[in-house]
């Protein structure tokens, strides 16, 4: 007879794969917590000098470091050469003998609707173009030139004072193109007269080009290209020729176009467009 052997319990080390490793348990490493340093009041409003110079349009941050190291920049009358120097809002920074502002240069193009005043503030509480660009940037920008209340179209706004002065100076060579809607058809003879010159109270004024809008589908709609910066020049020229301006819309300014820019909307200029404006104004392009 076969003998029934009692079955014993298997030992833990008697299982298959006796060479297998025991399970390892890992404790997660605790990340050391470092409380953030509270921003002290003394740090409020401070900005690195190279960034300040970059915002002013003087140079890129890397190039600004070189200018600082060369001793070309001073703060409150003292030359600074140490990189990493910070500037307070109340500090006076000079470069090349001129006081500069660390405010970032902004260039905003607006497609102005009618019935908006081209001014920063109006005592009569009428609507101004500033209401349309209030969300464009935190910097305070100003209109470059003017468009009267009844005129629509392109208006540039910026805080670049030097560029504004150059573009609005009477001697500037800034081309502007307008679509003009009149109260009656314009003869070919009068189109020629607009280019040859129209006698006004302050002298003779003329357009560079004058032609029918959209190939003359409506001969009461013309296009005028001119460089003159005289006040209300188109309205005055047309009135002198016995026409009344019904609609005036600036479609180009200094090479800038309102293409894809709806009425009442704005956009920021690209770096390329800003560079073209500086070249047009005869200013050194600052990278």
Of 43, 115, 122, 148, the catalytic one is 148
CA distances 131 to 127, 134, 265, 276, Å, are 7, 5, 11, 27
Nearest C-alpha neighbor of 57 from the set 270, 280, 275, 266: 275
CA distances 61 to 50, 195, 225, Å, are 5, 48, 40
Helix (H, G, I), strand (E, B) or coil at 227: coil
Pairing relation of β-strands 151-158 and 245-253? parallel
Question: Catalytic site residue 148?
Answer: yes
Report the alpha-carbon distance of residue 12 to residue 18 in Å, rounded. 9
Pairing relation of β-strands 209-212 and 245-253? unpaired
Start-to-end CA span in the chain (Å): 104
**DSSP state, residue 218:** S
Helices (H) and strands (E) in the chain, counts: 6, 17
Report the alpha-carbon distance of residue 130 to residue 140 in Å, rounded. 10
Cβ pair 59, 68 in contact under 8 A = no
Both structure tokens of 274? 């800003």
CA distances 4 to 7, 9, 10, 11, 183, Å, are 9, 16, 17, 20, 123
Cβ pair 247, 19 in contact under 8 A = no
Residues known to be catalytic:
148
């Amino acid at each position: 007879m076969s003998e029934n052997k009692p079955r014993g319990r298997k030992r833990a080390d008697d299982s298959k794969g006796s060479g297998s490793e025991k399970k390892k348990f890992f404790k997660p490493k605790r990340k050391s917590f470092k409380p953030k340093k509270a921003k002290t009041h003394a740090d409020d409003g401070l900005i690195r000098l190279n960034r300040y110079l970059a915002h002013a349009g003087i140079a890129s941050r890397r190039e600004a470091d070189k200018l600082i190291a060369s001793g070309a920049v001073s703060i409150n009358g003292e030359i600074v050469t140490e990189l990493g120097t910070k500037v307070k809002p109340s500090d006076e920074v000079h470069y090349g003998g001129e006081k500069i502002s660390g405010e970032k240069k902004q260039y905003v193009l607006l497609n102005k609707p009618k019935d908006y005043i081209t001014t920063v503030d109006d005592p009569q509480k009428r609507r101004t173009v500033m209401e349309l660009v209030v969300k464009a940037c935190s910097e305070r920008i100003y209109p470059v030139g003017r468009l009267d209340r009844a005129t629509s179209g392109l208006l540039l706004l910026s805080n670049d004072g030097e560029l504004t002065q150059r573009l609005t100076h009477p001697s500037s060579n800034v081309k502007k193109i307008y679509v003009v809607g009149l109260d009656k058809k314009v003869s070919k003879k009068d189109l020629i007269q607009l280019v040859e010159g129209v006698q006004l109270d302050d002298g003779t004024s003329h357009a560079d080009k004058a032609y029918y809008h959209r190939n003359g589908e409506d001969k009461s709609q013309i296009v005028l290209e001119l460089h003159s910066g005289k006040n209300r020049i188109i309205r005055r020229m047309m009135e002198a020729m016995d026409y009344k301006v019904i609609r005036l819309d600036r479609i180009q300014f200094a090479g800038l176009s309102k293409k894809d820019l709806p009425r009442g909307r704005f956009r920021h200029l690209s770096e390329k467009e800003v560079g073209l404006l500086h070249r047009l104004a005869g200013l050194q392009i600052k990278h």
